Amino acid sequence: MNTKKISSAALLFWAFIAAMMGSISTAVFSESAFNDNFAFTSMALALAGILISAAFLMVDAVLAVCNP
């Protein structure tokens, strides 16, 4: 039986994408400075997470190609 394993880096990538979308919507619809600051902080953290998880996805792809 052919089963596919979902990598943790892919799950983290999509979780950070969801966090980024949530923080963007918070920034757009917020009415207070506290919510704006919280949204911008969470956007920065989500962006860092997206970049790091994308790097791990690239490393996994290179290892999958180089190690048959």
DSSP-derived secondary structure letter, 32: S
Taking only Cα atoms into account, the Rg of the chain, rounded to an integer number of angstroms, comes to 16
What is the distance between the alpha carbons of residues 17 and 12, in angstroms, rounded to a whole number?
A: 9
pLDDT digits (tens, 9 = 90+) for 7-33: 888 999 999 999 999 999 999 998 898
* Tokens representing residue 10 in the block: 């892919």
- Calculate the alpha carbon distances from 34 to 37, 39, 40, 58 in Å: 5, 9, 10, 36
pLDDT digits (tens, 9 = 90+) for 25-60: 999 998 898 889 999 999 999 999 999 999 999 999
- pLDDT of 1 reads 62
The answer to whether 45 and 16 are in contact (CB under 8 A) is: no
Q: pTM of the prediction? A: 0.83
Mean pLDDT of the chain: 91
- pLDDT of 34 reads 87
